[in-house]
Amino acid sequence: MSFRRAKFLSALVVCMLFGILASAQSAETMKLRKWAESQKIFLGTAVMPDYLNDSLFVDNLTNNFNYITVENHMKWETIHPSQDNYDYSSADKIVEFAVKNGLKVRGHALTWHYQNPGWLGSGVLKTNARAILKDHIMNVVGHYKGKIRDWDVVNEPLSENGELRQNIWFLTLGAEYIELAFKWAREADPKAKLFINEYGNEWLSSKSDGFYQLVKELKSKGVPIDGVGLQFHLDGHYMPDFGAIAQNFKRLSDLGVEIQITELDVRLQNNPSEKAIDQQAKIYGEIMRLALAYKACTAMITWGISDKHSWIPSSFNGYGHGLLFDESYKSKPAAKLVAEILSSSRPKPEYFDKYKSTVNSRAVPPFRAVKLQKEPVIDGKVDGDEWKNGYTYSLLFNQLDIQNLAPTSTQKDIYATWKICFSGTKAYGLLTREDDITVTGHKNPWENDNFELFYSVGNNWKQIRTIVGQGWQTDINVNGKAIWSPDGKVLEFVVDLGIDLTGKTLGWSAALSDNDTPKNEMRKYQLYPIVGNNTGWQGKGFGEISFQNEDGYFIDGPAVGAVMPFASTAITKAPVLDGDPSDTEWKNASLYPFGFNQYSMDQTVPLTGTYAGHFKILNDTKTIYGLVQLTDSDIQKYKSVEIALSIFGNTVLLNSETGKDFTKTSWKKPLKAVWSKDMRTLEFMVEISDKPLANNTAKFSIGLLGAADSSGTPVFGLFPFCGYNRINSGTGKDLGAIMSKKEIDLADLLCQ
């Protein structure tokens, strides 16, 4: 072999080796740890002992992170498996590894309502809770003295409304358990920093208000608390309100405590689109900026490194992809953005001024509750005409699937209607329910067939639940009653809301869950009367209810709810408008059912074999595209589709009779409506803007109108939100009189 050739070959081998090394250690190229250290911030991740046997994991960990949280193995059930036995073997493995590799450690968690051992039941706690808790804290914190930088002394102490959660320690020791735990932890390791850790406390809400008040009170009492943990388990399909998060960071840092982002992940639905992954990166990036902008913030900790090991798939049905690195430890756009921000100069808190916190504005009209002349008997039986008055609504939006919010196509599977009436301080409700299989044996109450109400009175937010056949669950204090008919088809209930409801507007939502098998812990449907992403239980994304006033009118008060907008999906290529819905563009769009008949007090849409229809919306920079599909077997009764759109001061009201293009309007820009031959599908477009539509919200309505009666008025109008379009006056004082006939109820449409 010639010298030159040998030299070339060896150079090639070196190059190849480098290539292999570089790809095997893709972690190293990120250098997150180095940047975190130069910023003097902890960049952390949750760790389980088994992962430490995986060299890729270890390599990524030691190159990118300078801090770890013990994900599960310091929880009571692991570390204190029986009353007289502490098992430190697994947690020790992690702590030893950390010490050896110069990583700081977070101990997690000394008090929590979850992952507690069986022996820690009400039996031993009744008489001995104080001694048991003290022994645990002295022992565990003592064992790791000097090795733990931060302890989660109290984990998730709040319920969703911001009051103290009724966990095992609260129920046995009262609110004092919190002070005691901090006191004992301080005693056992005076140098460790002591934290209170919570989820759903990131932005402004009743929960984060409760969190702030609690910390303030503990500080003022001299309880040894050093820091607050905000978990940040986020759904990446929604941009968090960073204005509100920044305000929350500001008020917490004013209390003089450290702030840490303790369990960050940003979950996405399976098979995420490129856009979803980009949005995820943006969310991670802004959170990294938050951590750097606030001096009080000392750590950003993700709940795992790679999607290979994450709690998301087993905890959120159909979700995954929440971490910085994919299953093969390849960095995602989020990791790249985090690296970029971490290696730049620290942003200032003013950076977040550009997000103005969203003040509640009304997206859709409130539901209506009619004043009762006579209170119904709550016995699970509809006696006479006790429920005759009142508006009836469907539960049609399956919020378990944000891509397809339509209900099941057969009424037999699950179908329900509800109404609320009131008298004084009491809200009375009737639920009617059709279900082929009722399942009530699951451990987690919410996975059973059950009905939930969500409401807020002032700042006090509540979620209450009744499992089919049972009363209101008693873990949340409900002043009321819930009685089901023996066949589970009727639920009558009453809740005393504590204030005279006359003329009030309150935050409100309802949900019906359907699980069809005792085998699968995860329920199949959860139907709400509004669109959303199943965050009602966090006191977010819920609607409103308006109670009739003394004179019989509905005058809606200031907005107190925040129904999520309908989503229009961005496209770069327009679908072909030919009445054929098979264009790939439609596949990515969210599907919404027409769930409300706005022309009647009975606003329900019966699912007689099939529901009436659904629609999808897309947009490019300046044009909105729509698809309407009729699913009703009797399409003859539908007359036309009506669309209202308003954005940037441009407003159009369009009408397309089945089979025909839009009726002429004065709108100057292009618009078009094309029906399929069988009259079941409509595709339309309307150019609405000169400015880019992306990230702007349009006011919008879409209705499926029925054929006209002899006076020329359509007999029904089906819309995707509750409202009162063209409900004629004349049916009594409660209707129409305060609404001009021309007024149109609109919803929000968020263009992407």
Neighbours of 376 (CB within 10 A): 21
435 touches ligand XIL (CB under 6 A): no
Strand partners, 541: none
155 versus 448: smaller Cβ distance to ligand XIL: 155
How many CA atoms lie less than 13 Å away from 646 in the CB half-sphere?
Answer: 12
For 411-449, give one letter per residue: b (16+ CB within 10 A) or e. Answer: bebbbbbbbbbbbeebbbbbbbbebeebbbebeebbbbb
* Backbone phi, psi, residue 593, to 5°: -85, 155
Report the nearest approach of ligand XIL to the CB of residue 108 (Å): 6
Fill in the per-residue mask, 187 to 206: x = in contact with ligand XIL (CB under 6 A), - = not in contact.
------------x-------
How many binding residues for ligand XIL (CB under 6 A)? 7
Report the nearest approach of ligand XIL to the CB of residue 311 (Å): 3
Instruction: Determine the distance from the C-alpha atom of residue 596 to the mean position of all C-alpha atoms in its chain, rounded to a whole number.
Output: 24
155 touches ligand XIL (CB under 6 A): yes
Report the nearest approach of ligand XIL to the CB of residue 261 (Å): 13
Report the nearest approach of ligand XIL to the CB of residue 71 (Å): 5
70 versus 341: smaller Cβ distance to ligand XIL: 70
SS3 category, 24: helix
450 touches ligand XIL (CB under 6 A): no
Strand partners, 629: 614, 681
SS3 category, 134: helix
311 versus 351: smaller Cβ distance to ligand XIL: 311
311 touches ligand XIL (CB under 6 A): yes
* Binding residues among 522-561 for ligand XIL as defined by CB under 6 A: none
Extract the runs of DSSP E, i.e. beta strands, from 520-607.
Answer: 525-528, 543-547, 566-570, 592-593, 596-597
Q: Which of 45, 60, 72, 509 binds ligand XIL (CB under 6 A)?
A: 72
Strand partners, 443: none
156 is catalytic: yes
27 versus 230: smaller Cβ distance to ligand XIL: 230
71 touches ligand XIL (CB under 6 A): yes
* Backbone phi, psi, residue 216, to 5°: -60, -45
200 versus 376: smaller Cβ distance to ligand XIL: 200
Q: Is residue 441 within 8 Å of 466, Cβ to Cβ?
A: no
Mapping DSSP onto H, E and C, the string for 472-524 reads ECCCCCCCEEEEECCCCCEEEEEEECCCCCCCCEEEEEEEEEECCCCCCCCCC
Q: Is residue 392 within 8 Å of 417, Cβ to Cβ?
A: yes
Q: Angle at CA 390, nearest 5°, toward 386 and 392?
A: 110
Which is the catalytic residue, given 198, 202, 263, 452?
Answer: 263
How many CA atoms lie less than 13 Å away from 586 in the CB half-sphere?
Answer: 23
202 is catalytic: no
Fill in the per-residue mask, 105 to 144: x = in contact with ligand XIL (CB under 6 A), - = not in contact.
----------------------------------------
* Of 590, 615, 442, the residue nearest 523 (C-alpha): 442
Residue in this structure with the two tokens 């409300």, named with its chain if needed = 596
* Binding residues among 395-424 for ligand XIL as defined by CB under 6 A: none
Bridging pattern class, strands 450-457 and 697-706 = unpaired
* Binding residues among 218-257 for ligand XIL as defined by CB under 6 A: 231
Neighbours of 665 (CB within 10 A): 12
Q: Is residue 352 within 8 Å of 345, Cβ to Cβ?
A: no
Report the nearest approach of ligand XIL to the CB of residue 731 (Å): 50
Q: Give the helix, strand, coil percentages of the chain, each rounded to 5.
A: 25, 30, 45
Report the nearest approach of ligand XIL to the CB of residue 565 (Å): 28
Which is the catalytic residue, given 71, 156, 202, 386?
Answer: 156
155 versus 411: smaller Cβ distance to ligand XIL: 155
314 versus 713: smaller Cβ distance to ligand XIL: 314
Report the nearest approach of ligand XIL to the CB of residue 658 (Å): 51
113 versus 282: smaller Cβ distance to ligand XIL: 113
With CB atoms as reference, the residue minimizing the distance to ligand XIL is 311
Report the nearest approach of ligand XIL to the CB of residue 156 (Å): 6
Q: Angle at CA 399, nearest 5°, toward 581 and 456?
A: 140
Q: DSSP character for 352?
A: G
Report the nearest approach of ligand XIL to the CB of residue 259 (Å): 16
189 versus 263: smaller Cβ distance to ligand XIL: 263
Q: Which residues are catalytic?
A: 156, 263
Give the interface with ligand XIL as residue ranges (CB under 6 A): 71-72, 155, 199, 231, 263, 311
